[in-house]
Amino acid sequence: MADRGVRRVERPRGAIGIPVIAFVLVLILSFVLWSRGNLNSLICDGDCGPANVTAPEGLTGNSLPSAARTDPVPTGSLDAAKVASAVGRVLDSDALGDHVGFVAMGPTGEVLFSRGSGTFIPASTTKLLTGFAALSAIGPATRFTTRVVSAGDKIVLVGGGDPYLRVKKPKASDREAVADLTTLATRTARALKRQGVDRVSLGYDNSLFTGRSASPGWKSSYVSGNIVTPVSALWADQGVVNGVRSRNPAASAAKTFAKLLGDRGIAVVGAPDSVSSATATTPVASVRSAPVAQIVDALVRTSDNQASEVMLRHIAIVTNQPATFEGGTDAVIEVLTRAGIDTTGLRLLDGSGLSRSNRVSPTTLAQTILAANANLSTSTMLSALPVSGFDGTLTDRFSKSKRAYGLVRAKTGTLTGVHSLAGYAVEANGLPVIFALMSDGTPAVDLVSAEAALDRVAAAIAACSCGSTP
């Protein structure tokens, strides 16, 4: 017999249905917000990097066939006439101006369609050339060392050209930044105390790079206007102190390092001075940068001007050129030529694309993307390319071409009146189409329309059933 004190409680009608409906609505809303990128700040603590983006089938770093593969994936053929039909009309947009260059290539390098001739101001698509040359010439696993050496009671902070050296210890999620002055100061103080030293003078050496610290092709306001930091083999946080870019980033890094040593019981006598470390050969402590592959990933994905110029110097060094703007750009052209890339008309004054005197053809950009996939040491650059609507400099793009979300990976390039996009799009049958679109005569006041016009061209390729698979 049931206990009289216990009564069965029946749910009112709809009590089960309402929570289920609410749950479904939450799921739908979450999917919409995620697809638009609104949840990036919660999922990735900011912009979602490539490691956090699930790309559609066929859109991976090895989607483009490698020369080393005997059975390329994916296989199939592309119809040049269909590609031409897909992009022809959208290329006529007034928003692109009157000087437009375009090329589309298949996975084996065959030209499917092209328009325009000659070279164009590349803006930040220049970073594709710098990134490829860095991976090819320096190697993806190479790291750069920031050192402290000593001679008697003087220690010297020696810059190794780490573009992402930080002051404070980076987060574990910062793949490009793994070395910091705080850790270096801790190791230095520990080593000095073991030697019974608690008082030193400090010098700094940034002589790894030579020549001018600002390109002659840059506007003078780039440095004075706090847009770029003078290029240096030694800096921390890319020379930014309290939101201001230092005119002497090596001296600023040394001053910070002196304070960090003081906090750890090592008194620094006097102000740090610029010296040569040639006579101070006794190693004290060191920290190493992230591998070149992770540095290139970051500079391509986020379009990092500062890191690009540092890597330009490293490319010069490994190719036995002077570690200058001129030596670096000559080295990049040498690496591209050696890889079989057409460099006709190529002119470079920097590694970032800030110079309006740079000139690159769409063919050079497209062939660089193809060449990157031909070797394991350079293929990582493809996975660094921003993903349409999700990632990097394409996070807020393709809003008027949402069907192309996740189907385009490309590097952007933007200066006043200059807009370019180079990468690849996966067409409707799953085959990659490599493309480069360049325009350097767009209306200066209409940035949004120009970017939307670029996006429509890439989206037209993604929507096209231009290929056939076996």
Q: What is the pLDDT of residue 467?
A: 84
Distance between CA atoms of 365 and 252, rounded to whole angstroms? Answer: 37
Q: What is the pLDDT of residue 32?
A: 43
Tell me: pLDDT of 344 over 60. yes
DSSP helix/strand/coil, 257: helix
Tell me: pLDDT of 27 over 80. no
Q: What is the pLDDT of residue 63?
A: 36
Residue 398 and residue 412 in contact, taking contact as beta carbons nearer than 8 Å: no
Tell me: pLDDT of 394 over 80. yes
Q: What DSSP string runs through 61-104?
A: TT-SPPTT-SS-SS--EE-HHHHHHHHHTGGG-GGG-S-EEEEE
Q: What is the pLDDT of residue 76?
A: 76
pLDDT digits (tens, 9 = 90+) for 54-101: 333 333 333 333 333 333 446 679 999 999 999 999 999 999 999 999
Give the angle subtended at the CA of 463 by the CAs of 383 and 56, to the nearest 5°: 35
Distance between CA atoms of 251 and 236, rounded to whole angstroms? Answer: 10
pLDDT digits (tens, 9 = 90+) for 189-212: 999 999 999 999 999 999 999 999
Mean of pLDDT over the chain: 86
Question: CB under 8 Å to 76, separation ≥6 — which residues?
Answer: 429, 430, 431, 467, 468, 469, 470
pLDDT band at 447 (very low <50, low <70, confident <90, very high): confident
Between residues 279 and 99, which one has the greater pLDDT?
99
Q: Write down the pTM of the prediction.
A: 0.84
Tell me: pLDDT of 172 over 90. no
Q: Which residue in this structure is represented by tokens 């603590």?
A: 45
Q: Which percentage of the chain shows pLDDT scores above 90?
A: 77
Residue 322 and residue 309 in contact, taking contact as beta carbons nearer than 8 Å: no
Tell me: pLDDT of 397 over 80. yes
Q: What separation, in Å, do the N-terminal and C-terminal C-alpha atoms of the chain show? A: 73
Distance between CA atoms of 298 and 126, rounded to whole angstroms? Answer: 15
Distance of CA 110 to the CA centre of its chain: 27
Between residues 402 and 187, which one has the greater pLDDT?
187
* 425: enclosing H helix or E strand: strand 418-426
Tell me: pLDDT of 15 over 80. no
Q: Of all residues in the chain, what percent are helix, strand and coil, respectively (each to 5)? A: 35, 15, 45
